[in-house]
Amino acid sequence: KRIGYAIVGLGNLSLGQILPGFGASKYAKPVALVSGDAGKAKKIAAQYGIDPKNIYNYQNFDHIKDNPEIDAVYIVLPNSMHEEYVVRAAKAGKHVLCEKPMATSAQACQRMIDACKQAGKKLMVAYRIQYEPHNRLAKHWVREQKFGKVKLIDLHNSQNIGDLAQWRLHKALAGGGALPDIGLYCLNTARYLLGEEPHTVTATLYSTPGDVRFKEVEETVLWQMQFPGGALVNASTSYGVHQSRRYRCFGDKGGYFGLDPAFDYERLQMEGAYAEGKQEVKIAPSIKEAQQFALEMDHFARCILENKTPYTPGEEGLQDQKIMEAIYVSAKSGQPVKLEPITTLDTFR
């Protein structure tokens, strides 16, 4: 059986990646669309062979509860809308896959987790990077200490953001600027690679004075995280410089590796180097690419079919949100912020 998904929000990500991604999926199929634009939804439904009776809008969304073709709902709306639609989907008795960032506050993340628990439904945050083969190999190399123990990881994710009208520049819809949108990849990937939770964060935030793009949300954040095993993470994100999405892990036994690009939808590249005598040998392993959204949707579909907990459950999104909130606190105070130790995530690792 294939799990039937309803896609909520027909914006760039849904049209450019998610709907095409079903073509490469083994366990998932699109069966319903939710959109405020009936004409657009009708056109897209025809394109993907979705029955027009399975088109919903934001008002009649709750009627999905009467539609047995829909097993799961994929929320692809602006960040601050995730909570409402995750909660409504759970109340309608559906499993929920939610885009990142999970929400715009830790309290909202907790309410989403609680709503899904109460409904007895699964909740997964769409952290595609964690299902992607290049990043999975990097995680494996960190864990198996390929070039020794990783002591330092440097991560960066930036893009020069345009289009003043977009929701990403409005705090009420986005929750923040570069940090929750693209900096989150650095944060989440560092935690993924190390399999540990940071105990301290220190951050600096900057927005160019007078740049109208950054009236409500931040432009650039630099932050550092300390992990209990001794690893230090240096991360940066910006909406104000040319795009670059990469990371590098430094081991203590003669080598380093990482990805550049690391967070793109395709053409990711692993790269590194190690010492052989006095020579430095470059490595660039070739890894078979896969459609990242198909991998992620299939993972969730299999969790539903086999009654398992997703690898990136709601608790992962909550933890990232708590750390991002600590990053903002540190940037404001100019002081390091200590994070509460958490153990609940160990059950997913």
* Least distance CB 341 / ligand NAD (angstroms): 28
Distance CA 282, CA 231 (A): 24
Looking at the Cβ atoms of 99 and 219, the one nearer to ligand NAD is 99
Looking at the Cβ atoms of 97 and 337, the one nearer to ligand NAD is 97
* Least distance CB 217 / ligand NAD (angstroms): 13
Contact positions toward ligand NAD, by CB under 6 A?
9-14, 36, 76-79, 99-100, 126, 128, 167, 173, 181
Question: Tokens 């560092």, residue?
Answer: 190
80 and 172 Cβ atoms separated by less than 8 Å: yes
* Least distance CB 232 / ligand NAD (angstroms): 27
Looking at the Cβ atoms of 94 and 128, the one nearer to ligand NAD is 128
231 residue type, one letter: A
Distance CA 242, CA 228 (A): 33
Looking at the Cβ atoms of 28 and 231, the one nearer to ligand NAD is 28
Residue 348 backbone phi and psi in degrees, to 5: -95, -5
Residue nearest ligand NAD (C-beta atom):
11
Question: Tokens 């606190």, residue?
Answer: 329
Give the distance, in angstroms, between the CA of residue 325 and the centroid of all CA atoms in the same chain: 16
269: CB partners within 8 A, 6+ apart: 134, 259, 260, 261, 284
* Least distance CB 173 / ligand NAD (angstroms): 6
Nearest Cα residue to 153 out of 222, 225, 201? 225
Enumerate the H helices of 33-105 as residue ranges: 38-47, 82-91
Enumerate the H helices of the chain as residue ranges: 12-13, 19-21, 38-47, 82-91, 106-119, 133-143, 171-174, 178, 184-194, 292-306, 314-333
Q: Is 117 a catalytic residue?
A: no
Q: Is 151 a catalytic residue?
A: no
Looking at the Cβ atoms of 36 and 230, the one nearer to ligand NAD is 36
Q: Which of 29, 94, 100, 139 is catalytic?
A: 100
* Least distance CB 9 / ligand NAD (angstroms): 4
Q: Which of 5, 56, 127, 185 is catalytic?
A: 185
- Rounded to 5°, the CA angle 121-102-244 comes to 140
74-99 burial: b if 16+ Cβ within 10 Å, else e: bbbbbbbbbbbbbbbbbebebbbbbb
* Least distance CB 15 / ligand NAD (angstroms): 8
Looking at the Cβ atoms of 17 and 200, the one nearer to ligand NAD is 17
Q: How many CA atoms lie within 13 A of 230 on its CB side?
A: 6
Residues involved in catalysis: 100, 185
